[in-house]
């Protein structure tokens, strides 16, 4: 799900084309979360073509969905578990030819066969990264008592000092956990209303709704934000830079988990060989190692994960997938009418209503 703190401010210019390499590399256009243009994610592609693909960014999957539906063309996109069915039913994605993806057999079966990732015997998503969204905080500015519960996000003493994602799925995962919902596939309209009410209480405390890890990291380094609802990468990359930032998996209410992957966009005009070389490049052992160690995310390739140092996996809680997902809200596909209500409510909440 995402961006890296050491990247430049270009991550904030979502939806504007950014070429990695020279214009000659623009055959393949990747529509992605800011930060995934990091060349360490596709070294084999660069080795073959001499440069990376062209990237354009989105900050939220609904934003990406609407742009694609209005005719924006790209070859590859990076949606997550809760959105894929909607994208397929809208005709935005095509099945993948998995025989052309090197290392396909190494991907964990549980990820390959997730709801929405396959349909009618066809594979629509190549699972790539998985992780969670956690209460993340400045260890030198937040007391231990304040990291015990997600209710702290609504505590008036944090007015103007917190940040949550400008992302309806993560925002409502926080709000539903905080209001007692751990399975949003069984949520009711009343559950969404309670979650929206919680986010309204949180809104006065929000210094900024973050769209990428780079901007969130800057806010936390400066001390403007001392508590955030953030992906694994924020704590991982900031700790590597010596910053006093940590995440906790031990709040009373838990955290949320997700899996994301690459899809073949139906209206893509790029070279198909480059598309499959790009997917294959992502599936290598060295990329899994980098994703885990530099970003703090899990890789969907189980064979590659097994080759990573056991202590590293244990430190990130990646040594036991069942334990990692225990006491979490799983971001699975949910009833479309409830998700649309979340989208509408969140837009109003951010506007102060």
Shared domain check, 176 and 211: yes
Q: What is the CATH number of the domain that holds 250?
A: 3.40.190.10
Shared domain check, 334 and 205: yes
| CA-wise closest residue to 95 among 124, 125, 127 | 124
* Phi/psi at 206 (5° precision): -80, 115
Q: What is the pLDDT of residue 5?
A: 33
Shared domain check, 200 and 114: no
| CA-wise closest residue to 278 among 65, 49, 110 | 49
Buried b vs exposed e over 134-146: b needs ≥16 C-beta within 10 Å? bbbbbeeebeeeb
| pLDDT, one tens digit for every residue, the chain (353 residues) | 444 332 332 233 333 344 444 344 448 999 999 999 999 999 999 999 999 999 999 988 999 999 999 999 999 999 999 999 999 999 999 999 999 999 999 999 999 999 999 999 999 999 999 999 999 999 999 999 999 999 999 999 999 999 999 999 999 999 999 999 999 999 999 999 999 999 999 999 999 999 988 899 999 999 999 999 999 999 999 999 999 999 999 999 999 999 999 999 999 999 999 999 999 999 999 999 999 999 999 999 999 999 999 999 998 888 877 777 777 899 999 888 999 999 999 999 999 99
The alpha helices in 145-294, defined as continuous H runs, are 168-178, 189-202, 213-222, 232-240, 272-282, 285-290
Q: How many distinct structural domains can be found in the chain? A: 2
DSSP string for 91-104:
T-EE---GGGSTTG
Q: What is the pLDDT of residue 9?
A: 29
Shared domain check, 243 and 97: no
| CA-wise closest residue to 146 among 228, 67, 64 | 228
Shared domain check, 263 and 198: no
Shared domain check, 145 and 87: no
Shared domain check, 85 and 70: yes
Shared domain check, 342 and 212: yes
| Residue 122, helix vs strand vs coil | strand
Buried b vs exposed e over 323-337: b needs ≥16 C-beta within 10 Å? ebbeebbbbbbbeee
Shared domain check, 291 and 245: no
Residue 2 lies in a domain: no
Length of the chain: 353
Q: How many CB atoms lie within 10 A of CB 215?
A: 20
Shared domain check, 346 and 249: yes
Say if CB 31 and CB 69 are below 8 A apart. Answer: no
Shared domain check, 170 and 93: no
pLDDT digits (tens, 9 = 90+) for 316-332: 888 877 777 777 899 99
What's 35's DSSP letter?
T
Q: What is the pLDDT of residue 237?
A: 94
The whole-angstrom distance between residue 24's C-alpha and the CA centroid of its chain comes to 29
Shared domain check, 186 and 73: no
Helical packing angle, 189-202 and 336-350, nearest 10°: 20
Say if CB 160 and CB 245 are below 8 A apart. Answer: no
The residue range of the domain holding 13 is: 9-130+258-320
Q: Cα(80)–Cα(31) distance, rounded to whole angstroms? A: 13
Say if CB 167 and CB 60 are below 8 A apart. Answer: yes
The alpha helices in the chain, defined as continuous H runs, are 43-49, 61-69, 84-89, 109-112, 168-178, 189-202, 213-222, 232-240, 272-282, 285-290, 302-305, 310-315, 321-324, 336-350
């Amino acid at each position: 799900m995402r961006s890296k703190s050491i990247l430049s401010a270009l991550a904030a210019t979502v939806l504007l084309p950014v070429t990695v390499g020279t214009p000659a590399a623009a055959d393949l256009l990747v529509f992605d979360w800011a930060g995934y243009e990091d060349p360490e994610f596709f070294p084999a592609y660069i080795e073959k073509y001499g440069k990376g693909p062209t990237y354009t960014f989105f900050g939220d999957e609904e934003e990406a969905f609407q742009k694609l539906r209005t005719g924006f063309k790209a070859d590859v996109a990076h949606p997550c578990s809760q959105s894929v069915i909607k994208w397929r039913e809208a005709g935005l994605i095509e099945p993948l030819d998995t025989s052309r993806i090197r290392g396909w057999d190494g991907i964990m079966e549980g990820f390959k066969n997730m709801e929405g990732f396959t349909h009618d015997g066809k594979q629509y998503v190549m699972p790539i990264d998985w992780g969670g969204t956690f209460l993340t905080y400045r260890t030198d500015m937040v007391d231990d008592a304040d990291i015990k519960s997600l209710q702290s996000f609504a505590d008036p003493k944090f007015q103007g000092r917190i940040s949550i994602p400008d992302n309806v799925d993560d925002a409502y995962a926080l709000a539903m956990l905080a209001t007692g919902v751990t399975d949003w596939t069984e949520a009711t309209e009343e559950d969404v209303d309670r979650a929206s009410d919680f986010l309204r209480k949180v809104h006065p405390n929000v210094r900024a709704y973050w769209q990428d890890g780079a901007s969130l990291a800057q806010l936390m380094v400066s001390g403007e934000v001392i508590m955030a609802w953030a992906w694994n990468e924020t704590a991982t990359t900031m700790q590597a830079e010596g910053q006093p930032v940590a995440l906790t998996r031990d709040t009373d209410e838990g955290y949320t988990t997700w899996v994301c992957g690459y899809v073949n966009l139906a209206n893509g005009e790029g070279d198909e060989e480059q598309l499959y070389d790009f997917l294959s490049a992502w599936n290598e052992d060295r990329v899994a190692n980098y994703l885990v160690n530099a970003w703090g995310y899990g890789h969907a390739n189980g064979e590659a994960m097994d080759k990573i140092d056991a202590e590293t996996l244990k430190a990130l809680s990646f040594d036991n997938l069942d334990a990692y997902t225990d006491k979490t809200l799983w971001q699975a596909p949910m009833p479309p009418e409830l998700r649309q209500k979340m989208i509408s409510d969140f837009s109003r909440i951010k506007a102060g209503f």
